[in-house]
Amino acid sequence: MPTLHAYQKFLVANCPEVYVADITELICFYKTYETFLSVDEKESAFSLKKQSDTFAYIIRHGLLHFILSERLAIEPESVFIQHRQDGKPSLDPDRHPENITFSMSSSKNKVAIAIGEKIAIGIDIQFKEPIADYQGIAHRFFSSEEYAYIQHLPKNEIATAFYDCWVCKEAFIKAAGIVPLESFAVSFWKEQPELIASSTPAHLKCKWFFQRFAGGKDYAAMLVKGVCI
């Protein structure tokens, strides 16, 4: 059985537990992780065209089963995950407590997982891949406030700002529900980002907390949790 030493564990004050792992360092657990998955998860894994993508899928989802099993004090293969109507994964409420929430994200070789209780959570990690047109993508997908900030930055600061904004928005969507990226704005340039605008009234009824965490060199990473009134 894998141990907690197989991946890094970051505990963020007053936030859910965040786990970050390098998939290449967990390849030795591949066969073990495969036994944790449901029939549907295995079908999804083996339907992927590239073998490397199949390996990565099994490791990511196997690790999620393992981490959730520790929280639930059950065997990893007894963890049942479903997808809600909004597409968000969750524990099967017929088999597990409904107060446990989780979120997962992966990029290149890294996977990040957050586990919480009685809160909405979202996590995102992104490898800072060079992009030819940061401002063009920002103009298309970011809010007017976010784009205006990026537009006036020195050229050597745009890439970092772009990815800081991207992980804020992706993590928020995972916590709050799927909405158009341009329909809300986050002050990603602050040390403590905040939701500053949203066209979805329900968003404004919740208190949202944004927390950066160490995702590794050349990665941007963000955790969002929401407490609704």
pLDDT per residue as tens digits for the range 167-209: 999 999 999 988 889 999 999 999 999 999 999 888 888 899 9
pLDDT at residue 152, rounded to an integer: 93
pLDDT per residue as tens digits for the range 81-111: 988 777 778 899 889 887 899 999 999 999 9
Could you tell me the pTM of the whole model?
A: 0.90
Distance set, CA 80 to CA 2, 8, 74 (Å): 19, 24, 11
pLDDT at residue 9, rounded to an integer: 55
pLDDT band at 25 (very low <50, low <70, confident <90, very high): confident
Pairwise CA distance, residues 58 & 46, whole Å: 9
Pairwise CA distance, residues 27 & 188, whole Å: 34
Phi-psi region of 55 (alpha: psi -120 to 50; beta: other; left: phi over 0): alpha
Residue 177's closest CA among 199, 157, 158, 151?
199
pLDDT band at 4 (very low <50, low <70, confident <90, very high): very low
Structural domains of the chain, with CATH = 4-118 (3.90.470.20), 125-228 (3.90.470.20)
